[in-house]
Amino acid sequence: MRRSAVSAHPRTSSRATRRRGRTLAYSGGAAALAAALLATGVTTGTAGATTHRAEDTGASRTATALGLGEREQLVVKDTITDRDGTTHTRYERTYAGLPVLGGDLVVHRAADGKVTGSTRATQRTIAVDSLTPKVTPAAATSRALRVAKSDRTAPGAKSDTPRKVIWAAKGKPVLAYETVVRGVQADGTPSRLHVVTDATTGLELHRYQAIHNGTGTSQYSGKVPLTTRKSGSTYQLTDTARGNHNTYDLKGGTSGRGTLFTDADDVWGDGTPANRQTAAVDAAFGAATTWDFYKTTFGRNGIKNDGKAAYSRVHYGNSYVNAFWDDQAFAITYGDGQGNKKPLTSLDVAGHEFSHGVTSATAGLRYSGESGGLNEATSDIFGTGVEYAAKNASDPGDYLIGEEIDIRGDGSPLRYQDKPSRDGKSADYWTPDVGKLDVHYSSGVANHFFFLLAEGSGKKVIDGVSYDSPTKDGSTLTGIGRDKALRIWYKALTTYFTSTTDYRGARAGTLKAAADLYGAGGTEAKAVAAAWTAVDVKG
Asked whether 434 and 442 are in contact (CB, 8 A), the reply is yes
Size (the chain), residues = 539
- Per residue in 497-521, pLDDT (tens digit) is 999 999 999 999 999 999 999 999 8
- Provide the angle, in degrees to the nearest 10, between the axes of the packed helices 444-455 and 369-390: 40
Average pLDDT in the chain = 84
Q: Is 353 a catalytic residue?
A: yes
Write the class of the CATH domain 229-361.
alpha beta
The yes-or-no answer to whether 14-120 and 137-209 have a common fold is yes
Q: For residue 48, what pLDDT is reported?
A: 29
Residue 285 has pLDDT above 50, yes or no: yes
Q: For residues 311 and 475, what is the distance between their CA atoms, to the nearest angstrom?
A: 45
pLDDT at 219 (0 to 100): 60
CA triple 331-336-341, angle to 5 deg: 155
3-state secondary structure of 255: coil
Where do the DSSP E strands lie in 288-357?
A: 311-316, 323-326, 331-335
pLDDT tens digit string along 318-353?
A: 999 899 999 999 999 999 988 898 899 989 989 999
Q: Regarding beta strands 163-167 and 115-120, do their DSSP bridges make them parallel or antiparallel, or are they unpaired? A: unpaired
pLDDT at 42 over 60: no
pLDDT of res. 411: 73
Fold of 370-534: Neutral Protease; domain 2 (1.10.390)
* 72 is known as an active-site residue: no
CATH code of the domain occupying 14-120: 3.10.450
Q: pLDDT class for 126, splitting at 50, 70, 90?
A: confident
Residue 406 binned pLDDT confidence (cut-offs 50, 70, 90): low
Most distant CA atoms of the chain, gap in Å: 68
What confidence category does residue 211 fall into, taking pLDDT thresholds of 50, 70 and 90?
confident
Q: Rg for the chain (alpha carbons), in Å?
A: 23
The residue annotated as part of the active site, out of 72, 92, 178, 353, is: 353
Helices (H), 98-246: 137-150
Per-residue model confidence as pLDDT tens digits over 421-476:
999 999 999 999 999 999 999 999 999 999 999 999 999 999 999 999 999 999 99
DSSP helix/strand/coil, 212: strand
User: Which pLDDT score is estimated for 30?
Assistant: 45
Nearest one of 356, 303, 301, 348 to 325, comparing CA atoms: 356
Is the pLDDT at 24 greater than 50, yes or no?
no
Q: What angle do CA 135, 105, 129 make, to 5 degrees?
A: 30
| Tens of pLDDT, residues 83-96 | 899 999 898 989 99
Residues 6+ apart with CB under 8 A from 145: 157, 159, 181
Domain definitions of the chain by residue range = 14-120, 137-209, 229-361, 370-534
Q: Which one is catalytic: 404, 440, 448, 455?
A: 440
Region 137-209: CATH code: 3.10.450
Instruction: Tell me if 401 sits within 8 A of 382, measured CB to CB.
Output: no
Give the pLDDT confidence score for residue 70 in this predicted structure: 63
Q: By percentage, how much of the chain surpasses pLDDT 70?
A: 84
Tell which residue, 411, 414, 416, 404, has the closest CA to residue 455.
416
**Distance between CA atoms of residues 100 and 326, nearest Å:** 22
Q: Report how far residue 478's alpha carbon sits from residue 93's, in angstroms, rounded to the nearest whole number.
A: 41
Residue 208: pLDDT band (50, 70, 90) is: confident
- Confidence band, pLDDT 50/70/90 cuts, at residue 25: very low
Digit-coded pLDDT (tens) for 61-71:
332 332 333 68
Greater pLDDT, 204 or 153: 204
Q: Are strands 211-214 and 229-231 parallel, antiparallel or unpaired?
A: unpaired
| Whether the predicted pLDDT of 33 surpasses 80 | no
